[in-house]
C-alpha cells in the first residue's frame, strides 16, 4: 500500500465513525425500550420519571441529544453508564484489554490449527485421505463458536473438570499489574505463574472462538495452496528437481498466503463478534460480555461507547490486514 493510500484510508476513519455513531444513536432511540423504565421501581410517580429523564437528557429532541453527546465524545467523554453508574470510557478501558487478549489468543490458535490442517490437506491432495481433512474442516466450519463454547464447557469443565469455566483469573491471585493487558504484561514481566493462571481460564473460550476460524483459515489456505501449486512456476520447480514438500513450503506457500490473509484477515471481525456470546458463556470480563448487559439494560451511553469501540477495532483490523498483504505481495508495493 502506498503512503497516499494509507493517508486516504486514515482520512476516511472519522467520517466512518460518524456514520456509525449516527446510526447507533438514532436506532437506540427509535426502537422501543427505555432505560428509565428499566431503572425505576414499580409505582414511581410521573414526576420522578420526568426528573430522571431530564437528568440523562432524554427529554430533549434527538438532534439536540446527539449534538451534546458528539461534543462530549469529541473531548474524550463518552458519558456515564446508566446501569453501572461509572464513566463509559473507564469501563471500556478496563474491559477492552481482556477482549483483545482473548481474540489474539484465539487468532493464534486458529492460525496454527488452520495452517497445519491446510498443509496436511494439500500433502494428501488427490488421495483418499484428503477427504478426511476436508470433512473435518467442514465439520468445524458448520458448528458456530457459541456452540463450541457450550460443548467445551460441558466436556472439560463439567464431565472432565480440567479447566475453570468462568472468569478471567482466580480472584485470590494478587495481580499487582500496571495495565489491564494481564496476559501480555505478565509474560513480558516474566511472571509466568500469573500468565499460566490466565491461560488456564482463557483456553476454553479461546478454543471455542478459534475452531470455526481455524476451519475458515484451513479452507482458504488449502484452496490457495492448490491453486498456486498448479501455476507454471510451481510446475517448473518440479522440473528443476525440487521435492514436493520443498516446493510447497518455499514456492507455493508464500504465494498462497496472500489471498488467505486478504480474505481471512478481515474475517477476524467475525471472531471479534463471536466474543460477545462466548464471553457471556464463560463469564469472561470483556467488552462482549458487557455489551449484553448494556443492551438488556438499555444503557444508551454504554451501548454507544461499545459500538464505537467495535467500529474502531474493525477499521483498525482492516487496515492492518491491508498492510500485511502489502508486505507479503511485492506486486502491491511502491507502485
Partner 1 sequence: MTATFTVEGLKVAIGAANVLRGVSLEVQPGEVRGLVGESGAGKSMLGRAVLGLLPANAAVTAGRIAFEGRDLLAMAEAERRRLLGRRIALIPQDPMTSLNPVKRIGAQIGNLLRHHLDLSKRTALARAAELLTEVAIREPERVLALYPHEISGGMRQRVLIAMAFACDPALVIADEPTTALDVTVQRQVLQLVERLRLRHGSAVLFVTHDLGVVAKICRSMTVLHAGRVLEEGETANVLTRPRHAYTRALLAATPRADRPAEALRPVPPALIEQLWSEAHRLDDVAAVDAA
Q: How far apart are CA 109 and CA 212, in angstroms?
A: 11
Residue with cell 488467505: 260
Q: Which is nearer to partner 1, 92 or 257 (CB)?
A: 257
Nearest approach, Cβ of residue 58 and partner 1 (Å): 56
Q: Under 8 Å CB-to-CB from 48, ≥6 apart: which residues?
A: 40
Choice from 250, 270, 292, 320 touching partner 1 (CB under 8 A): 250
- Quote the crossing angle between the two packed helices 300-328 and 287-296, to the nearest 10°: 150
Question: Can you tell me which of 131, 138, 231, 245 binds partner 1, judged by CB under 8 A?
Answer: 231
By the rule CB under 8 A, 330 interacts with partner 1:
yes
Applying CB under 8 A, the span of 153-161, 187-195, 239-247, 296-304 interacting with partner 1 comes to 239-247
110-139 residues near partner 1, rule: CB under 8 A: 126
* String of contacts with partner 1 for each residue 147-186, x by CB under 8 A: ----------------------------------------
Cβ-based neighbour number of residue 181 at 10 Å:
17
Residue number, 28 or 220, with CB nearest to partner 1: 220
Q: Considering beta carbons, is residue 81 or 326 the nearer one to partner 1?
A: 326
Q: Which whole-number Å values give the CA distances from 101 to 107, 137, 287, in the listed order? A: 10, 25, 12
> Per residue in 134-166, is it b (16+ CB within 10 Å) or e — as a string?
beebeebbeeebbebbeebbeebbeeeeebbbe
What is the smallest separation between the CB atom of 269 and partner 1, expressed in angstroms? 26
Residue 122's closest CA among 206, 1, 248?
248
> Taking the complex as a whole, how short is the minimal distance between the CB of residue 258 and partner 1, in angstroms?
7
**329 scored as a contact of partner 1 (CB under 8 A):** yes
Least Å distance between CB 222 and partner 1? Answer: 17
Among 236, 296, 320, 323, binds partner 1 (CB under 8 A): 236
Query: Of 101, 251, 279, 285, which one interacts with partner 1 (CB under 8 A)?
Result: 251
Provide the Cα torsion 228, 314, 277, 162; round to 10°: 60
Taking CB under 8 A as the rule, does residue 15 contact partner 1? no
Report in angstroms how near the CB of residue 225 gets to partner 1 at its nearest.
Answer: 14
Cα gap 165→284, rounded to integer Å: 9
Task: Tell me how far CA of residue 173 lies from CA of 48, 195, 235, 261, in angstroms.
Answer: 44, 11, 57, 38
Closer residue to partner 1 in complex, CB, 319/328: 328
Buried b / exposed e along 86-110 (16+ C-beta atoms within 10 A): ebbbebbeebbbbbbbbbebbbebb
Q: Contact with partner 1 (CB under 8 A): which of 71, 254, 270, 323?
A: 254
Total residues at interface with partner 1 (CB under 8 A): 23
Residues that bind partner 1 (CB under 8 A): 126, 231-243, 250-251, 254-255, 258, 328-331
Amino acid at each position: 500500500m502506498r503512503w497516499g493510500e494509507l493517508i486516504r484510508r486514515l482520512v476516511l476513519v472519522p467520517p466512518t465513525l460518524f456514520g456509525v455513531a449516527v446510526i447507533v444513536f438514532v436506532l437506540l432511540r427509535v426502537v422501543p425500550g427505555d432505560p428509565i423504565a428499566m431503572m425505576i421501581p414499580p409505582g414511581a410517580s410521573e414526576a420522578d420519571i420526568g426528573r430522571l429523564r431530564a437528568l440523562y437528557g432524554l427529554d430533549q429532541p434527538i438532534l439536540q441529544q446527539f449534538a451534546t453527546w458528539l461534543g462530549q465524545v469529541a473531548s474524550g467523554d463518552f458519558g456515564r453508564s446508566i446501569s453501572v453508574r461509572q464513566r463509559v470510557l473507564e469501563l471500556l478501558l478496563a474491559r477492552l484489554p481482556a477482549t483483545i487478549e482473548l481474540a489474539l489468543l484465539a487468532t493464534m490458535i486458529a492460525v496454527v490449527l488452520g495452517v497445519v490442517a491446510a498443509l496436511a490437506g494439500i500433502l494428501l491432495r488427490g488421495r483418499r485421505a484428503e477427504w478426511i481433512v476436508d470433512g473435518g474442516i467442514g465439520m468445524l466450519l458448520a458448528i458456530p463458536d457459541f456452540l463450541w463454547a457450550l460443548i467445551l464447557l460441558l466436556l472439560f469443565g463439567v464431565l472432565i473438570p480440567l479447566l475453570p469455566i468462568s472468569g478471567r483469573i482466580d480472584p485470590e491471585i494478587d495481580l499487582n499489574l500496571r495495565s489491564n493487558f494481564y496476559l501480555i504484561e505478565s509474560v513480558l514481566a516474566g511472571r509466568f505463574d500469573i500468565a499460566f493462571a490466565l491461560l488456564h481460564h482463557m483456553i476454553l473460550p479461546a478454543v471455542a472462538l478459534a475452531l470455526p476460524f481455524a476451519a475458515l483459515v484451513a479452507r482458504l489456505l488449502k484452496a490457495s495452496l492448490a491453486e498456486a501449486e498448479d501455476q507454471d512456476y510451481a510446475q517448473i520447480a518440479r522440473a528443476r528437481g525440487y521435492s514436493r514438500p520443498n516446493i510447497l513450503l518455499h514456492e507455493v506457500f508464500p504465494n498462497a498466503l496472500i489471498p488467505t490473509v486478504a480474505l481471512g484477515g478481515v474475517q477476524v471481525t467475525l471472531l471479534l463478534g463471536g466474543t460477545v456470546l462466548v464471553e457471556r458463556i464463560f463469564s469472561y470480563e470483556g467488552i462482549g460480555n458487557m455489551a449484553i448487559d448494556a443492551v438488556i439494560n438499555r444503557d444508551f451511553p454504554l451501548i454507544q461507547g461499545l459500538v464505537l469501540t467495535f467500529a474502531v477495532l474493525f477499521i483498525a483490523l482492516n487496515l492492518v490486514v491491508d498492510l500485511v498483504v502489502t508486505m507479503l505481495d511485492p506486486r502491491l508495493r511502491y507502485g
